[in-house]
Chains A and B, each alone.
Chain A
Amino acid sequence: MNINPENLAAIALEIVGSSGASVGQVRIARHDTRGIALRDGQVENVASDSSTGLNVRVVHNGAWGFGATTELSEAGVRKAAAAALEMAKISSAVSTDVVDLADEPVHGKVSWRLPVEIDPMQVPDSEVISLLKSWHERVSKHGAVHHVDVQAAMGKDVTFFADLTGNEISQERDRTSASLTAVHVGENGFDDMRTCAPPAGRGYEYLLGTGWDWDEELSRIPEYLDEKTKSPSVEAGLWDLVIDPTNLWLTIHESIGHATELDRALGYEANYAGSSFATIDKLNNFKYGSDIMNVTGDRTAAHGLSTVGFDDEGVAAQKWNLIKDGILVGYQTDRNIAKKIGLSRSNGCAFADSPLHVPIQRMPNVSLQPGKEELSTNDLIGQVERGIYIVGDKSWSIDMQRYNFQFTGQRFYEIRNGKIIGQLKDVVYQSKTPDFWGSMSAVGGKQTYLLGGALNCGKGQPGQTAPVSHGCPSAVFRNINVLNGRAEAGA
């Protein structure tokens, strides 16, 4: 940032401090993004955005107030501080809830940076385009491939947080993602196949092969697609599933990640994203899944999209249990809601996607832990007599209390007597969260563990998006309801 954040923050904190605010926080942030898209080998878009702004957040007379601006000047920060105090005044008239924050040690003047090898925002567009074109060339040569869409997206967050307690926290983190989708158009319609490479908290080195074997995956995409177009349609009914981490991460995100958000459990998202079946009366006694289910919340995971040094309320990053031996034992919190359920400290999940947005409780990297036995994915497939091995994510949907969900995937392999015999198509799996996790009979070992994730997790009003990762091993689920997508459409 070219502006002096310390000076701007000092002006705001002086204003809100002298007004009698019990909490005063200033956040100055720059979010850079860039995206490049190719369609059938032609560049469709090359775009970049840089968004910078500041906000002032106060608790005054027990009510929140928030003011924000993109005007990074003394005048701008004074206006934001005044707006925050005014909004607190309006809020206090209708708020029956007194804001009280869980304590957090003062960290003082500190800085943190996500380690990357190549700054993704500094790589020339031409270099990225050249790489993506080479991917297109490799895949489009195959006779089964009629169209190829390729895209890459990169982002950087540079933030400065200061508060009335004396914190001055500077942070920087990057993320990189890319995907390729190959499309087949035939007599019986069309099909597609997308790469499974997840977005990652890494630099541009990720697209060059650090952390993902692009060569291997790109070389297989055409044959995966070709086989899919010729594969039989699935028979609807109960199937055992072996779910690959490239698919299971999203099921974890929807059925555990959002369900263990404390603000949802307390009703704060009830009008929009929804609430949660995992209400606080269930803490430490609810059987969420089978005994081999262990899930952590983690803002420290290497290359995690939700990994930070400190959250947007100045709370240091932590790792903690959400589900232990199948029992719900924890939630994701910010400082306000942590205090509401009697926790002495927040686990650091406050996040805002823009300096113009209020920090709300957002998801840490929520991950299913691998098993103690060193089981490979093939070992897990070997445990299944009649089942489906599911790879890659695609369609997803879950209800507003995180019970009923439905997912599809990229590839579905039929398993007979412990062996894969070929792809199926039109597979849709549907279940209820506690039933699904209760049916988990085996988890893979560390060698099957992969950090998946998404850049676009949505929540809050006004809507905010957050990047988040989910690690997991391959796992086996018994007797899951499988629907046939074509039959569901009446075909």
Chain B
Amino acid sequence: MSELNISQATEYALELLGNSGGVAVGEVSDSANIRWANSSLTTNGNSIEQSLSLAAFVDVEGGIACGIASGQIRTRDDVVKLVEKSKASALAAGVAEDANELTAGSQTIDFQKAPATTDLSGLEKVSKDLGQVMKNTDAQYFGFSEISTDTIYLATSAGLRARFEQSSSRFELCAKSIDRSRSSWSGESGISLNNVDVFKHAKMVDQGLVHQKNKIDISPGKHTVTLSPSAVADLMIYLMWTASAREAAEGRSVFSGPAGGTKVGEQLTTRKFNLTSDPKYKGLETISQVISMGSSSFASTFDTGLEIPAVNLIENGTLKALGSSRYTSTLAKLPFTPLADNIIVSDGNGSGDLNQLAARMKDGLLITCLWYIREVDPQSLLLTGLTRDGVYVVKDGEIIGTANNFRFNESPVGMLNRITDAGEPTFCLPREWADWFSRAKVAPLTIADFNLSTKSDAI
């Protein structure tokens, strides 16, 4: 940036927004990644991206309007154009239904501090260790590793100045037998690659391939399954994404009450099942103030800067809350409930790790992860998708081989009532949704009558 840095651009934008005010969010993302396939590195990248997003509030007849514009800033003139664009959009939009007072908030002392940079040492270590792993000629390896650091500058016309740094890391390793008849996967997310134990992941995926040497044909149908934390996370993230107070109150959701209203207060399972989102949860820390450049059922630009508390959406099996903005909470007649960018799933009676849980299942299928999850029926929240990279057959508590893959048709809400056992929550990488949602600590679950609808020949 030649004329002004990102925090200066954020301040300058706010100045130009004028008396009606608004919100300015500057963001710098520094990321690097490597990708490998067939036991060879394929692509890599190292990039720095900066952008400025503006929400212009404009007084119009009957209230306040809001318009959003974002882009890269290189000169003061770029800021002027972005402000003009956001104001024009606001005027076109007319009165914003969700208009509300911005929170005053506090002013951080490090608002002018330069953006954080990404430490590449972890990626270099991963790359070096992978070189060792890929010497194994009994299998071929595929995967991806990424480290990124985002620095966010939040400024509002109510005086709030906040600066956030947030690093995210990801490591995934997939192993395939040379004849491609077997495939296994392991992954983790976090805030640094420095502690990724590539050799531990390699051992896990190599062990998976050994288990898969014994193929056992299992028919589709309803089976007792133990879902890994990754698989449970992918299902519960989708549940969280649909847990909107407004949709439920309008009768458009699985959480709508049968006679109007919502299902808040209804017991979804007799288990002591908990689904929580908490921005300050140790190991899953994330931004603890609302930053919303746009409005939806879950969020409002006008709520930007408000604190995000820990929220128990489901507590001891009962639906306790649904996500909302201040505005949509009034429509739904429920408390204002902003949600953080993480998920914690636990069961009060859970114990042991995934392997111990699978052993307690006695007979059933241990599912490594799920893939291509899509909504089939919003009314029941029926989801479909595939099992992937390891469906292990458990007999008398021991893994005796591997089954084919399956397409499942299941509702993450409906299945809560069929939880028969649970393990301790562990940090995990939700394989399907990790591009959008990677902060998860989730318990593995054993589910009775899980609907494995049809067989998939995919490996």
- Return chain B residues, CB-CB under 8 Å to A51: 51, 71-72
Known contacts A47-B294, A48-B89; decide if A267 and B38 are in contact (CB<8 Å).
yes
Question: Is B70 positioned at the interface, with any CB of A under 8 Å from its CB?
Answer: yes
- Which of A121-129, A319-327, A363-371, A414-422 sits within the interface? A121-129
Across the interface, do B41 and A94 meet the contact criterion of CB distance under 8 Å?
Answer: yes
Q: Number of B interface residues, CB 8 Å?
A: 95
Per-residue CB contact flags for chain B residues 322-360 toward chain A (1 = under 8 Å, else 0) read: 000000000000000000000000000000000000000
A-B contact count (CB 8 A): 267
Across the interface, do A46 and B92 meet the contact criterion of CB distance under 8 Å?
Answer: yes
Question: Is A18 positioned at the interface, with any CB of B under 8 Å from its CB?
Answer: no
Per-residue CB contact flags for chain B residues 120-154 toward chain A (1 = under 8 Å, else 0) read: 00001001101100100000101110100000000
Q: Which of B70, B375, B409, B414 has the most CB atoms of chain A within a 10 A radius of its CB?
A: B409
Interface residues in B280-321 (C-beta closer than 8 Å to A): 293-296
- Return chain A residues, CB-CB under 8 Å to B414: 489-490
Q: Which of A68, A406, A426 has the most CB atoms of chain B within a 10 A radius of its CB?
A: A406
- Which of A70-78, A200-208, A291-299, A442-450 sits within the interface? A70-78
Q: Number of A interface residues, CB 8 Å?
A: 86
Across the interface, do B93 and A46 meet the contact criterion of CB distance under 8 Å?
Answer: yes
- Which of B211-219, B392-400, B448-456 sits within the interface? B448-456
A140 to B457, CA, bound (A): 45
Known contacts A44-B295, A93-B127, A356-B47; decide if A400 and B376 are in contact (CB<8 Å).
no
A271 to B184, CA, bound (A): 10
- Return chain B residues, CB-CB under 8 Å to A53: 47, 49, 72
Across the interface, do B377 and A271 meet the contact criterion of CB distance under 8 Å?
Answer: no
Q: Which of B49, B134, B252, B453 contacts A190 (CB 8 A)?
A: B252
Known contacts A68-B45, A189-B379, A271-B142; decide if A95 and B51 are in contact (CB<8 Å).
no
Interface residues in A44-96 (C-beta closer than 8 Å to B): 44-53, 55, 63-73, 83, 86-87, 90-91, 93-96
Question: Is B241 positioned at the interface, with any CB of A under 8 Å from its CB?
Answer: no
Across the interface, do B453 and A483 meet the contact criterion of CB distance under 8 Å?
Answer: yes
Question: Is A224 positioned at the interface, with any CB of B under 8 Å from its CB?
Answer: no
Across the interface, do A400 and B47 meet the contact criterion of CB distance under 8 Å?
Answer: no
Across the interface, do B379 and A190 meet the contact criterion of CB distance under 8 Å?
Answer: yes
Question: Is B250 positioned at the interface, with any CB of A under 8 Å from its CB?
Answer: yes
- Return chain A residues, CB-CB under 8 Å to B70: 47-50
Across the interface, do A401 and B457 meet the contact criterion of CB distance under 8 Å?
Answer: yes
- Return chain B residues, CB-CB under 8 Å to A190: 251-252, 256, 378-379
Known contacts A51-B72, A404-B386; decide if A97 and B457 are in contact (CB<8 Å).
no
Across the interface, do A270 and B382 meet the contact criterion of CB distance under 8 Å?
Answer: no
Q: Which residue of A lies closest to B73 (CB)?
A: A70
Q: Which residue of A lies closest to B449 (CB)?
A: A490
A189 to B379, CA, bound (A): 7
A489 to B94, CA, bound (A): 42
Across the interface, do B142 and A270 meet the contact criterion of CB distance under 8 Å?
Answer: yes
Question: Is B262 positioned at the interface, with any CB of A under 8 Å from its CB?
Answer: no
Across the interface, do B45 and A94 meet the contact criterion of CB distance under 8 Å?
Answer: no
* Cross-chain pairs A/B with CB under 8 angstroms, 18 sampled: A43-B93, A47-B68, A47-B69, A48-B69, A50-B71, A67-B45, A70-B48, A91-B41, A94-B130, A271-B143, A271-B185, A396-B374, A397-B374, A399-B407, A403-B458, A461-B33, A488-B382, A489-B409
Chain B residues at the A interface, C-beta cutoff of 8 Å: 1-2, 31, 33-51, 66-72, 74, 85, 88-94, 96-97, 124, 127-128, 130-131, 134, 140, 142-144, 146, 172-174, 176, 180, 183, 185, 250-252, 256, 293-296, 371-380, 382, 384-386, 388, 405, 407, 409, 411, 414, 435, 451, 453-459
